[in-house]
Amino acid sequence: MAPLKNPATLKEASATAAKEGTLANLLVHDALEEMRLSVNSREKEGIKERVSFRLERLVAACGRNMSSGTGVLATIGSTAPFVGLFGTVWGIMNSFIGIAESNTTNLAVVAPGIAEALLATGIGLFAAIPAVVFYNYFNTRIAGYGTRADGFAAELLNGISRQLDKGA
């Protein structure tokens, strides 16, 4: 999203955000729509407030939309270690059952349960670590995009404010 660099008018901002389907384009068109709806309004502060509200709502909706899939990654990242831990407990428990049934601590009796435990731990970590890494990566990218979108909306609102103050 290209910075606006203090647009003097809404038309100037529209030229900066001409690419269809981008958030910048949506923000400009939402602002233009509110300006069109408020054309007969005498209260400039009311226009600025309504435009600001629309822009904030659009940026928030975009953030929610972009974050919609990250909940699955967070759930996997937070629950997979516990699933692995449950498997670990199960495997160790099987080892103890094997020891009790055979009345010996022979490696052949203990090894299958320990192997189950280690496999369960490994699977839990194999699922959790990438999920947490991707969750953090996407959250960082989404937050950065949101910050840029907020900046774009603020610059757009400044341009509208200047335009209204000049009476254009």
**Average pLDDT of the chain, as a whole number:** 85
Q: Do 93 and 126 reside in the same domain of the chain?
A: yes
Q: Do 21 and 33 reside in the same domain of the chain?
A: yes
How far from the centroid of its chain's Cα atoms is residue 62's Cα?
A: 10
Q: With beta carbons less than 8 A apart as the criterion, state whether 1 and 149 touch.
A: yes
pLDDT (0 to 100) of residue 74: 94
User: Crossing angle of helices 44-67/107-166, nearest 10°?
Assistant: 160
User: At 4, is the pLDDT very low, low, confident or very high (cuts 50, 70, 90)?
Assistant: low
Q: Do 108 and 160 reside in the same domain of the chain?
A: no
The SS3 call for residue 13 is helix
- Is 138 a residue whose pLDDT tops 80? yes
Average pLDDT over residues 117-125: 91
Q: 62-81 burial string, b = 16+ CB within 10 Å, else e? A: bbeebeeebeebeebbeebb
CA–CA dist 96, 36 (Å, integer): 76
- Per the structure, how many domains does the chain have? 2
- Is 142 a residue whose pLDDT tops 60? yes
Tell me the whole-structure pTM to 2 decimals. Answer: 0.72
Q: Do 45 and 30 reside in the same domain of the chain?
A: yes
Average pLDDT over residues 120-147: 93
By residue range, what is the domain housing residue 30? 10-67+146-166
Q: With beta carbons less than 8 A apart as the criterion, state whether 101 and 68 touch.
A: no
The better pLDDT of the pair 75, 2 is held by 75
Q: With beta carbons less than 8 A apart as the criterion, state whether 39 and 163 touch.
A: no
pLDDT (0 to 100) of residue 69: 87
With respect to residue 4, please indicate whether it lies within any of the assigned structural domains: no
